[in-house]
């Protein structure tokens, strides 16, 4: 098979699956609204189930629902017939995926679900199938043909089921008023969760770790404070301890280049008075954005009384995994 044929096959597959997904939009109507209403009213969990390739798609839909505000998990229909039906309660809703709508492992469960009174939403390619007719709401994910040239391997049909699952999840997310903070709560361990949850107060240097000198402190003495605290900078305060400026490695380089006597010159003459500041409750990701925009490596943290609460350095943000 030539490389040209490989590319032709790939383009045909993408085109066919794109067309199958595009056809879904016209099917979004009363049945979809009904499915969303039933899932939104669910007092328990949403159980998603499917066999074979539909099962793989069902797992992904369950994961997407769970991470976007709809408590959900996957149950294998074969295992459900051998004990896992105990995981499903009358307060739950079931989303069942089957392109044919007649897969034996799911059809076997239908009388049990009806007996419990569990809400059933189905996704099939056959609106007149056993599964579709038994459902409280049916979503048509059928395709004219699979992208597989043999029209056998589930390709276009699994893609449409996946997209329909995403459509359900996002519609429910919006109906619940799900926020970025809610999303972060579901993803506390990843970079995304850290960006949405981590505050400046969580990682700033505070107390004795804050480099601090007075305006009358000489540059030489300030260098000892900078070296001791290891942040490449120091805050400069007045006699009341209020921030009046900042002195950084960059200021030091300019001082040495100007051949200024560091043993006699006070910080008040060399400090930068326009220090960039943030608050403890600001997102750490926003602090990083401010550093990047201003090409600086540290920020002074000020509390609501305009007193120095801490200092946050770029390396603190990097160690916290925000890069």
My answer on whether 35 and 153 are in the same domain is yes
My answer on whether 169 and 204 are in the same domain is no
For residue 188, is it within any domain? no
For residue 195, is it within any domain? no
The rounded distance, in Å, linking the Cα atoms of 116 and 89 is 7
pLDDT per residue as tens, the chain (323 positions):
566 688 899 999 999 999 999 999 999 999 999 999 999 999 999 999 999 999 999 999 999 999 888 999 999 999 998 889 999 999 999 999 999 999 999 999 999 999 999 999 999 999 999 999 999 999 999 999 999 888 888 999 999 999 999 999 999 999 988 776 666 566 555 555 666 678 899 999 999 999 999 999 999 999 999 999 999 999 999 988 899 999 988 888 888 888 888 898 999 898 988 888 999 999 888 898 899 999 899 999 998 877 899 999 998 888 887 76
Q: Which pLDDT belongs to residue 304? A: 82
> Are 281 and 199 in contact, with CB atoms under 8 Å apart?
yes
My answer on whether 7 and 150 are in the same domain is yes
My answer on whether 46 and 115 are in the same domain is yes
Q: Which residues, 6+ apart, have CB-to-CB distance to 59 below 8 Å?
A: 48, 74
My answer on whether 160 and 56 are in the same domain is yes
Whichever domain contains 208, its CATH number is 3.10.580.10
My answer on whether 159 and 252 are in the same domain is no
My answer on whether 212 and 153 are in the same domain is no
My answer on whether 21 and 150 are in the same domain is yes
Q: Which pLDDT belongs to residue 100? A: 95
For residue 187, is it within any domain? no
- Containing domain of residue 170, as a range? 3-178
Q: Could you tell me whether strands 298-302 and 93-97 are parallel, antiparallel, or unpaired per DSSP bridges?
A: unpaired
Q: Which pLDDT belongs to residue 146? A: 94
Q: Which pLDDT belongs to residue 273? A: 86
For 212, the enclosing helix (H) or strand (E) is strand 212-214
My answer on whether 279 and 168 are in the same domain is no
Closest CA to 89 of 79, 75, 102: 75
Instruction: Supply the pTM of this predicted model.
Output: 0.65
For residue 289, is it within any domain? yes
Q: Which pLDDT belongs to residue 256? A: 81
Whichever domain contains 73, its CATH number is 3.40.50.10490
My answer on whether 134 and 263 are in the same domain is no
Q: Which pLDDT belongs to residue 257? A: 84
Q: Could you tell me whether strands 298-302 and 277-278 are parallel, antiparallel, or unpaired per DSSP bridges?
A: parallel
* Residue 132 CA: distances (Å) to CA of 98, 103, 118, 165, 260: 9, 12, 15, 16, 84
My answer on whether 20 and 136 are in the same domain is yes
What's the total number of domains in the chain?
2
Token pair 């949850």 in the structure block, residue: 197
In a 3-state reduction of DSSP, which class is residue 310?
strand
Instruction: Extract the tokens encoding 12.
Output: 């045909």
């Amino acid at each position: 098979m030539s490389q040209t044929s490989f590319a032709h096959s790939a383009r045909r597959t993408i085109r066919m699956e794109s067309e199958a997904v595009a056809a879904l939009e016209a099917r979004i109507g009363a049945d979809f609204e009904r499915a969303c209403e039933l899932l939104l009213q669910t007092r328990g969990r949403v159980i998603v189930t499917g066999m074979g390739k539909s099962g793989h798609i069902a797992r992904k839909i369950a994961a997407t629902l769970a991470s976007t505000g709809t408590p959900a998990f996957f149950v294998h229909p074969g295992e459900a017939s051998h004990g896992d039906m105990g995981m499903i309660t009358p307060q739950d809703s079931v989303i069942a995926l089957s392109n044919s709508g007649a897969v034996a492992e799911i059809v076997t469960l239908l009388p049990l679900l009806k007996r419990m009174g569990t809400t059933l939403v189905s996704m099939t390619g056959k609106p007149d199938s056993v599964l579709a007719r038994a459902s409280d709401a049916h979503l048509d994910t059928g395709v004219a043909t699979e992208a597989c040239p043999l029209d056998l391997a589930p390709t276009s049909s699994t893609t449409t089921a996946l997209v329909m699952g995403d459509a359900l999840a996002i519609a429910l997310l919006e109906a619940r008023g799900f926020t970025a903070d809610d999303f972060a709560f579901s993803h506390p361990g990843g970079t995304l969760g850290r960006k949405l949850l981590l505050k400046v107060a969580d990682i700033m240097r505070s107390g004795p770790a804050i480099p601090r000198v007075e305006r009358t402190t000489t540059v030489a003495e300030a260098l000892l404070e900078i070296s001791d605290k290891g942040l490449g900078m120091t805050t400069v305060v007045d006699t009341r301890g209020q921030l009046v400026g900042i002195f950084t490695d960059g200021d030091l380089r300019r001082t040495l280049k100007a051949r200024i006597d560091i043993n006699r010159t006070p910080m008040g003459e060399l400090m930068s008075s326009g220090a960039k500041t943030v608050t403890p409750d600001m997102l750490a990701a926003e602090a990083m954005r401010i550093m990047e925009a201003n090409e600086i490596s540290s920020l002074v943290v000020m509390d609501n009384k305009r007193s120095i609460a801490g200092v946050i350095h770029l390396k603190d943000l990097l160690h916290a995994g925000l890069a």
